[in-house]
Amino acid sequence: MLALILGALLLLVTACGGGGGSGAGDGDSNDGKGAGKVENAASVAVVTIAPKDEAKAVATTGALKVSADKGKLTTVTVQDDKGNPVEGKLTADGTSWEPLRHLAGATKYKVHAIAKDAEGRESAKDTTFTTLVPKNTFIGHYTPEDGSTVGVGMPVSINFTRGITEPEAVEKAITVTAEPSVPIEGHWFGNDRLDFRPEKYWAAGTKVTVKLNLDGVEGRPGVYGEQAKSVTFTIGRSQVSTVDASAKTMKVVRDGKQIRNIPITAGAPSTTTYNGQMVISEKYAVTRMNGATVGFGGEYDIKDVPHAMRLSTSGTFVHGNYWASSGTFGSANVSHGCVGLRDIRGGGNNGTPSAWFYNSSLIGDVVIVKNSKDKQIAPDNGLNGWNMSWSEWIK
């Protein structure tokens, strides 16, 4: 019995040992020279990522590039330290990738890239780097306010805290979209103000979204944006009012229908009112108007002007007037360039034409002045870019 057991063990050892003898040698020869080596060989594709791993103070534009040699990129993912992805574009031949936009300042990024060689074998690389910490920064002060409902003439207007010498880079970092969709274009007034608008007034009910992706944008040498914000606002009903300075009336049109014709007083012959399309940019239930602040010296200083709505930066308002006789409105132009409506002292909801118009108006509503013996208002004097043709605007 013991002999049988020993014989069986001997056979088992011989069988196992035989698998590692001459047969194993043949197998090793195939692994070294045959198809087995091709299947298990390393990829010849080489992934290169710039900047180098763990690099510091990296520029926010132009520094990040991913490329593949002896292969094509199949995967490139870039994320910041909060997990936000960086969009990029792969070249048609698959050998190079670059981000579509600038990177944020003072931010750590992680890069993961994979390339395949001609045999389909993959090569991967992972790196991290941190962008520069800006010493000098700028932001954009925007209007209208987030969440507001405004009139059909309201542009998106952004005033920058530093003069911009790289307007294309800054404008590229700002997107304005509308629902329903409509083409929207930007226009620079000088080097510190950028406005956006469609060709015609917004349609009532439009939802507008503004994305300020300024963080990391080099707006001028050594000066970087530090703002990343999304703003939305809604266009309310359509209201466009037309002041006829000669006829001394203002027709108020709501959603295409005239709802009121109001007697007004416009600028006197020596202080005429600007012609043109103007947008209400501010509303004050009561405000002070001092002629010295708009170049009229001490001609007037009224501390309690009621129902005032600004139409220009230079001081044009449509406002209540309680100091002129009621017979003035609709019969004489006596103002210093503003459009006056009959009112009483103290303002409030007092039933006068001025109170009605104030309560019926939104910031962003349009007031058009015609037939005044004055020039057309400059498009940058207030939110009044509508006084430029579309071809001028997009030039």
Residues 175 and 118 both lie in one domain: no
Residues 285 and 380 both lie in one domain: yes
Q: Where among 191, 218, 235 does a domain terminate?
A: 235
Q: Contact, 272 vs 337, CB < 8 A?
A: yes
The confidence score (pLDDT) of residue 347 equals 87
Query: Residue 179 falls within a domain, yes or no?
Result: yes
Cα(40)–Cα(35) distance, rounded to whole angstroms? 9
Query: Residue 392 falls within a domain, yes or no?
Result: no
Query: Residue 70 falls within a domain, yes or no?
Result: yes
Residues 67 and 155 both lie in one domain: no
Considering the entire predicted model, what is its pTM? 0.85
Residues 194 and 217 both lie in one domain: yes
What is the average pLDDT value for the chain, to the nearest integer? 90
Q: Where among 235, 259, 294 does a domain terminate?
A: 235
Q: Return the percentage of the chain with pLDDT > 70, whole number.
A: 88
Residues 274 and 330 both lie in one domain: yes
CA distances from 203 to 191, 234, 239 (A): 30, 10, 11
Q: Contact, 275 vs 311, CB < 8 A?
A: no
Residues 224 and 249 both lie in one domain: no
Condensed to tens digits (0 to 9), the pLDDT of residues 230-258 reads: 999 999 999 999 999 999 999 999 999 99
Q: Where among 131, 149, 164 does a domain terminate?
A: 131
Q: Which residue has the tokens 């013996």?
A: 373
Residues 249 and 335 both lie in one domain: yes
Query: Residue 37 falls within a domain, yes or no?
Result: no
In total, the chain counts a number of residues equal to: 395
Cα(280)–Cα(282) distance, rounded to whole angstroms? 6
Closest to 226 measured CA to CA, from 179, 183, 170: 170
Q: Return the percentage of the chain with pLDDT > 90, whole number.
A: 86
Residues 369 and 274 both lie in one domain: yes
Reading the block at residue 151, the tokens are 């009139």
Say whether pLDDT at 218 is over 90: yes
The whole domain housing 332 covers 239-387
Say whether pLDDT at 263 is over 90: yes
Which range has the worst mean pLDDT, 181-185, 199-203, 286-290?
286-290
Residues 230 and 246 both lie in one domain: no
Residues 283 and 378 both lie in one domain: yes
The confidence score (pLDDT) of residue 36 equals 45
Condensed to tens digits (0 to 9), the pLDDT of residues 79-134 reads: 999 999 999 999 999 999 999 999 999 999 999 999 999 999 999 999 999 999 99
Condensed to tens digits (0 to 9), the pLDDT of residues 125-163 reads: 999 999 999 999 999 999 999 999 999 999 999 999 999
Say whether pLDDT at 34 is over 90: no
Sign of CA dihedral 371, 377, 382, 387: positive
The confidence score (pLDDT) of residue 290 equals 78
CA distances from 186 to 34, 157, 242, 357 (A): 64, 9, 26, 31
Angle at 181 between CA 176 and CA 184, to 5 degrees: 40
Phi, psi of 278 (to 5 degrees): -125, 150
Residues 62 and 95 both lie in one domain: yes
Condensed to tens digits (0 to 9), the pLDDT of residues 305-361 reads: 999 999 999 999 999 999 999 999 999 999 999 999 999 999 899 999 999 999 999
Phi, psi of 219 (to 5 degrees): -75, -25
Domain containing residue 95: CATH number:
2.60.40.3780
State whether residue 172 is helix, strand or coil. Answer: helix
Residues 314 and 211 both lie in one domain: no
The confidence score (pLDDT) of residue 38 equals 53
Query: Residue 40 falls within a domain, yes or no?
Result: no
The confidence score (pLDDT) of residue 30 equals 44
State whether residue 319 is helix, strand or coil. Answer: strand
Cα(72)–Cα(56) distance, rounded to whole angstroms? 28
Closest to 153 measured CA to CA, from 77, 219, 208, 90: 208
Domain containing residue 344: CATH number:
2.40.440.10
Segments of 100-173 assigned E as strands: 108-116, 122-131, 136-138, 140-143, 149-150, 156-160
How many domains, in total, are found in the chain?
3
The confidence score (pLDDT) of residue 289 equals 87
